[in-house]
Chains A and B, each alone.
Chain A
Amino acid sequence: MSCAQVAVRKSATEPLLKLRARPLRLALVGNANVGKSVLFGRLTGQYAVVSNYPGTTVALTLGRALIGAEVCDVTDTPGVNAVEGVLSEDELVTRRILETGETDVVIQVADARNLRRGLMLTSQLAAFKLPMVLVLNMADEARTHGVHIDAAGLAASLGIPVVETVATEGRGVAALKDVLANAAVPNPRGDHAGDHAKWAHDMAVQFRRLQPRSAARVQERLSRMVREPATGLPILALVLYVMYLIVGVFGAQTLVGLIENGLFKQFINPAAAFLVNRFVPWAIVRDFLVGEYGLITMGLTYAIAIVLPVVATFFLVFGFLEDSGYIPRLAIFSDRIFRAMGLNGKAVLPMVLGLGCDTMATMTTRILGTPKERLIAVLLLALGIPCSAQLATIFGILGGISFAALMTLFGVVLAQMFLVGFLAARVLPGERSEFMMELPPIRLPHMRNVVYKTVLRVRWYLGEAVPLFLVGTALLFVLSRLGWLAAMTRGLEPLVQGLLGLPARTTEVFVMGFLRRDYGAAGLFRMARAGDLQPVQAVVALTVMTLFVPCVANFLMMVKEQGWKPALGILGVVTVIAIGTGAALNTVLHVLHVSF
């Protein structure tokens, strides 16, 4: 079968596989979105996140693979457009592992359809003088688009093995393992030295045949519909609405209701209370477990009953959108808006990813072109983008009040983001890069991958968020026991009750919100349920909470990506803006006598 066709260089030199002091180190390198991470999974049996947009992988992923009789270290790298010239932060990550001698063999993964671009990179990779193998992945899509490649001819000309694969189906992977022993430094390129583009073009003309064919009619149609404003904007509205139905209504109302009322109120909490009261003799421990700020009655109920259903439904829809290739196309509509904020359309990726998790998205800002863009994007993520866990509580509280309340919150937050971006673009030094972006093909998502990603992310939520939630609950318990909570509440009274017009208890909620803003929001959720929050107060409190820095993890990621100073600066600016906006909103709503 030609899809798994193997072309091995004739003159095999000394084999690479021999006795070694340490495992052979292989690196998967290539253009963005060509299937490196899928191949990584096939080679190592380990999952690296796979999505249909350039910039899914922005840091190195390490794994082990059994190749022949040898165990090898395999590294999955961020996709690159180039490894020389002006590079973005994620491209530098890849370049570094080529430069530092951390790699013995480079497995270049290319999209068979895009041979030209792949070869341009081959030409640059050759300069590192490392043994290479060229993988032409997506052989299935190449075929449906009428692209045929003479792999044998290409291998002979390059002097390296060339293998065609379909990583998603595992085709050609065995062949790849077989030829790894023959990896070689590519031939010198003759007189084109330096002009990678011309060489790649000539090679592509020589070894690639294009049959004009449009087998992918449906794909083209869809791609056109989402990209043209007349159809694309209504489609965007529809996508958001469906998302609201699945996450905001089904997840935040139906599922939360079932789990909270059905499971926790009826069974778990009474059972826990019964057991604890029966078997724990110390009042303070009883209180700690099942009291007002109890680990089980408060911590676990929030984490599992209120947030989990929304996070799960959100990631399911989100994973589907990620794999469809839809998200990057939003850049077409948003480029002009982002340009006013010192960014460009590409920033839509980290912003939308932030709805999943702001911490991850902060890392994804690496794909942006300049340091200024990265800083603005990190700031805006911290300021305005509610993560899935927080969306849970927003939908939960405001969905129960009115649609207008929901729109007020999103309107204020979006306006604030735009304003801050607009000012930051003018105040911060540096410049933005121009908008030029690759759009991945529209694909029907593999439900397996979508479900798998969802399970992984939910597990990650439980692993990271739940312990922190419990720590927060414990902290609140200790503060309240020591009487410090009351002191803080008194101290912040002018701010919370005076300026923001909120009940005194909201201070506790803000303390929780400092750890993770969704916990704070979850606290508001309970107050709202108990009837302690007027609708206007709910909107104001949630707006302030949404504008806070998302969580401790996000703050640490900001430090990691930007350094202490900018991170502390952002924390300060964001906190002031959050409270200022809340105070302004409170005043405006009262002056206008809005009651939702």
Chain B
Amino acid sequence: MSRSSPAQRLASIEPGTRGHIVRVARDHRDRADRLMALGVTPGASIHVLQQFPSVVFMCDQTELAVEPAVADAILVQIE
């Protein structure tokens, strides 16, 4: 995998884009833990589906919906 572009926040990625999760910001208490329990952890593949009204994405084989603030904390390496 060539690191052509830097990691981006999930909240700012165009629908249709695929990539991998690099990091989940730990700045908000138990946000990262709750995301982890849903499978949103570094290394997981991700496919962005929609940004509005909620952010919807496929993480590995799970479809998830999150509010924008949460999507802002997820860093994605685009492929």
Q: A435-B67, A438-B63 are in contact. Are A81 and B37 (CB under 8 A)?
A: yes
| Residues of A close to B37: CB separation below 8 A | 81-82, 85, 120
Q: A335-B54, A345-B54 are in contact. Are A116 and B39 (CB under 8 A)?
A: yes
- Cross-interface CB contact of B66 among A86, A197, A435, cutoff 8 Å: A435
- Cross-interface CB contact of B38 among A113, A433, A438, cutoff 8 Å: A438
Q: Judge whether B70 and A436 touch: CB under 8 Å.
A: yes
Q: Judge whether A120 and B39 touch: CB under 8 Å.
A: yes
Chain A CB within 8 A of B31 CB: yes
Chain A CB within 8 A of B4 CB: no
Q: A201-B43, A438-B64 are in contact. Are A331 and B54 (CB under 8 A)?
A: yes
Q: A116-B39, A336-B53, A436-B35 are in contact. Are A145 and B61 (CB under 8 A)?
A: yes
**B-contact bits for A320-363, CB 8 A (1 contact / 0 none):** 00000000010111011001000011000000000000000000
**B-contact bits for A427-457, CB 8 A (1 contact / 0 none):** 0000001111111010000000000000000
Q: Judge whether B63 and A116 touch: CB under 8 Å.
A: no
Chain A CB within 8 A of B22 CB: no
Q: Judge whether B66 and A434 touch: CB under 8 Å.
A: yes
For the residues of A in contact with B, the DSSP-based class is helix
Chain B CB within 8 A of A228 CB: yes
Instruction: Give the number of residues in B that approach A within 8 Å (Cβ atoms).
Output: 30
A114 CA to B31 CA in the complex, in Å?
Answer: 21
Q: Judge whether B67 and A439 touch: CB under 8 Å.
A: no
A interface, size bucket: 35 or more
Chain A residues 470-495 with CB under 8 Å of chain B are none
A114 CA to B35 CA in the complex, in Å?
Answer: 15
User: B42 to nearest A CB, angstroms?
Assistant: 8
| Residues of A close to B14: CB separation below 8 A | none
A183 CA to B53 CA in the complex, in Å?
Answer: 46
Chain B CB within 8 A of A223 CB: yes
Chain B residue nearest to A197 (CB atoms) is B41
Chain A CB within 8 A of B27 CB: no
| Residues of B close to A86: CB separation below 8 A | 30, 33-34
Chain A CB within 8 A of B60 CB: yes
User: B3 to nearest A CB, angstroms?
Assistant: 20
Chain A CB within 8 A of B44 CB: yes
Chain B CB within 8 A of A505 CB: no
Q: Judge whether B67 and A335 touch: CB under 8 Å.
A: yes
Chain A residues 227-249 with CB under 8 Å of chain B are 227-229
A120 CA to B33 CA in the complex, in Å?
Answer: 12
Q: Judge whether B50 and A434 touch: CB under 8 Å.
A: no
Chain A residues 545-571 with CB under 8 Å of chain B are none
A113 CA to B61 CA in the complex, in Å?
Answer: 6
Q: Judge whether B61 and A114 touch: CB under 8 Å.
A: yes
Chain B CB within 8 A of A117 CB: yes
| Residues of B close to A116: CB separation below 8 A | 39, 44, 60-61
Chain A residues 109-136 with CB under 8 Å of chain B are 111, 113-114, 116-117, 120
User: A433 to nearest B CB, angstroms?
Assistant: 8
Chain A CB within 8 A of B7 CB: no
Chain B CB within 8 A of A180 CB: no
Chain B residue nearest to A344 (CB atoms) is B67
A565 CA to B52 CA in the complex, in Å?
Answer: 40
Chain A CB within 8 A of B46 CB: no
| Residues of B close to A329: CB separation below 8 A | 65
Residues of B within 8 A of A (CB): 28, 30-31, 33-39, 41-44, 49-50, 52-54, 56, 60-67, 69-70
Q: List 24 A-B contacts (CB under 8 A).
A: A85-B33, A111-B61, A113-B61, A114-B62, A116-B61, A117-B38, A198-B42, A223-B63, A227-B50, A229-B52, A332-B53, A333-B54, A335-B53, A336-B53, A339-B67, A345-B65, A434-B31, A435-B70, A436-B35, A436-B38, A436-B67, A439-B63, A439-B64, A441-B63
New A-B contacts (17) at CB < 8 Å, excluding given A120-B41, A435-B67? A86-B30, A120-B39, A145-B61, A198-B43, A223-B63, A227-B56, A229-B53, A329-B65, A331-B65, A335-B53, A335-B65, A336-B53, A433-B34, A434-B69, A436-B67, A438-B38, A438-B62
